[in-house]
Every structure is written in structure tokens, then in C-alpha cells.
Amino acid sequence: MPDSSPWDDIAVPGFDFNVRQVAGETAVPCFWGRDVGGACLFIVELEGDHAAQYRKNAVTVNGIDIDLRAGDRGQQRLVLALERQVDRDLFEGLCRTLASSLEHAADSASSLAVSMAHIRRWKTFLSGRSQHLSADEVRGLYAEIIFLLELINWQTSSTAAVDAWLGPERSHQDFIFGNTAVEIKSLSGTERTTVRISSEDQLESLNDALFLRIYRLSSLADVAGARSLNEIVTAVHARLGEADAVEAFDRKLVAYGYAPLPDYDQPHFVVSDVRSYRVSNGFPRLMRSQLPTGIASVAYDIRLEMIAPYECDGAAIFGED
């Protein structure tokens, strides 16, 4: 996370709280704030009485105090207060994405509804132990989500597509559906012509069909269609029509170590190349079932030119060859 935050230049008040309005065109005024205890606040200012709506949709989140308070001249304020400074980067991510969501609200009532739904979804992220993903991990997660979007296009059920994504659960392969297993790899646009296999289990499967799918990702912010990790996660949310699928997807993101932090607004990727390989007899690989006794935790690189004979049409993964 950056060293600075929106609360750094807000003084701790002697009473009540000090605020600074959030930049942007939100449907209702939003503010960064500090209270007398120095806690970081995010405040959504609402017109009218929304107590009944708030009670109906109330949500509790560990580490964040959420309250609807009376304001001035018939106003109410939804106040989010961070209880633990160690979680400030996650809280900032929640607040920034909430402010972005409020750009699409129509009025105070819809702003409160959007806020409560947003907080409820973020509860999943805040309940996990998110970590700062490395550049390689960002690229790897991006590639897996690209394939998930392809699988959503192919599957009749978005829940089934999300259930097939097993990478966050440290399965041997990243996706298993039907009797097909798929291992996903990513390469940078200028990376070497080898791919790293991180264990003796990744290219061995009990399923009838096993594929290796490699995405070459180029960081090209100005190219049409380039998206950040946060943007492609948002794209998946837009495609998941089933509430159970959305919840399962968010849980898997948490297991991966992801939360929608501002850090992941960059870089922007485009898929510059996709290659699919059928892992069959003769494919160069190391497998647990064939390792000498006493050998374990194997990692190795495969030269892409050596597996060219096994390349197949990507449609074969979905049984369309």
C-alpha cells in the first residue's frame, strides 16, 4: 500500500469529528474523517429518516463499527469507524470502492442500500487474512480469472463454474470440471520461453483429460481492453447472476489472499497470446507416481518448444474438438 492515506492530513478533533469530503461525483456527500479517539472514519450523509431501512439490513463486521447517527436538519449519517489501525489498508479499500459504487446510486435510500450491500460483501474479505500479492501472484490470479470467465461462458451455471475453480484451495490442478482437469499458467509479455511447474502433482491427474493452458499477459495500460486485477474481478461479479456463486467467488478470492485494494488498480493487462496443451503420454513432466523413493517437493521448468507437438485447440478443453 502507499505510505499516505486519506486520513493522514485530517487532525484529531477535541470533540465530535473532523472531515474532508471525498472527491468524485457520488449521489450523496461522502467524507473521510477522524473522531476524538483518532479512529479513521468514512461517513455517508443521507437526507431523511432511514432508521427502519438500516435496521432491516444491519450487518456486523469484525474490526469496523457501523452506526447510523442523527445529523443536522433532518439528515442522518452512516458512519464506518475502523477499530484496528493494522487493518487500515483494507478499510481504505472498502471505503474507496464504496465511494465508487455510490456514483451509481440515485438518492439517499438507494445510497444506503448500496452501502449496506457493499459492506456485506466486504465482510468476506475482512474476515480473511489478506496479504499483499506479489507481481507473480497478481499475474497468476489474473490468468486463472480469465479462464474462469471463459468457463462461465461455457457452463450453463455460474455456480458450477466457480465450484470448478480449485486453485485457491491448493488443489493439484487449478480447475476440475466433469472429467477434465486444467492447470493454468501465466507468462509476462517479455518473459522467457519456459513455464515453471511448481510440484510433482500439477501435471498428474486421475481425470480422463488433463490440459495445460498458458496465458501470456502484457502490461499495456493504453491498449483497448486492458484491465487491472480489480477490474477483472469486478467483471466476474457482473457475470455471476447467482448469489451463491458471488459468495463462493469472494471466499475463493480471500483464500487466494486477495482483497480489492487500491494497489491492484495497476498494472493493466491484455492477453497477448494463449496456448493450450493436452498432457498425454510422452508429455515432458515429473509425476509423483514415478519419482524415486525419497524424492519430494519437485519444481521444474518446461521449455515451450519441447511441448509444441502437444498443442491443441483451446476448444478441446471444453470437449468441443
**Secondary structure of the chain in the HEC alphabet?**
CCCCCCCCCCCCCCCCEEEEECCCCCCCCEEEEEECCCCEEEEEEEECCCHHHHHHCCCCECCEEEEEEECCCCEEEEEEEECCHHHHHHHHHHHHHHHHHHHHCCCHHHHHHHHHHHHHHHHHHHHCCCCCCCHHHHHHHHHHHHHHHHHHHHCCCHHHHHHHECHHHCCCCCEEECCEEEEEEEEECCCCCEEEECCCCCCCCCCCEEEEEEEEEEECCCCCCCECHHHHHHHHHHHCCCHHHHHHHHHHHHHHCCCCCHHHHCCCEEEEEEEEEECCCCCCCCCHHHCCCCCCCCCEEEEHHHHHHHEECHHHHHCCC
CATH code for the structural domain at 17-127:
3.30.200
Grid look-up 484496528 returns 84
Q: Which pLDDT tens digits describe the chain residue by residue (321 residues)?
A: 446 789 999 999 998 899 999 988 899 999 999 999 999 999 999 999 999 999 999 989 888 999 999 988 889 999 999 987 767 888 898 998 899 889 989 999 999 999 998 898 888 887 765 668 999 999 999 999 999 999 999 876 899 999 999 999 888 999 999 999 999 999 987 767 899 999 999 999 999 999 999 999 999 878 888 999 999 998 998 899 778 898 899 999 988 989 888 789 899 999 999 999 999 999 999 999 899 999 988 999 999 999 999 999 999 999 876
- CATH 3.30.200, the chain: domain bounds: 17-127
pLDDT at 1: 43
Q: What is the pLDDT of residue 271?
A: 94
**Calpha distance 198→272 (Å, rounded):** 24
